[in-house]
Amino acid sequence: MGYEEILEHLAPCGLDCRKCLASSSGEIRELSVRIRELLGSFDRYAERFSAFQPVFRGYPQFRDLLSHLAGADCPGCRGGACRYPGCIVPACTRDKEVDFCFQCSEFPCDRVTFDPDLRHRWEEMNSRMGEIGVEAYFQETRDLPRYR
List interacting residues with ligand SF4 (CB under 6 A): 11, 15, 17, 20, 22-23, 74, 76-77, 82-84, 88-89, 92-93, 96, 98, 101, 104, 106-107, 109, 111-112
- 16 phi and psi, to 5 degrees? -90, 110
Task: Give me the helix-helix angle, 42-49 and 59-70, nearest 10°.
Answer: 150
- 12 phi and psi, to 5 degrees? -60, -20
Q: How far is the CB of 84 from ligand SF4 (least distance, A)?
A: 6
* Shorter beta-carbon distance to ligand SF4: residue 42 or 96: 96
Q: How far is the CB of 70 from ligand SF4 (least distance, A)?
A: 15
Q: How far is the CB of 52 from ligand SF4 (least distance, A)?
A: 39
* Shorter beta-carbon distance to ligand SF4: residue 60 or 133: 133
CA–CA separation, 121 vs 89, rounded Å? 14
* Shorter beta-carbon distance to ligand SF4: residue 20 or 46: 20
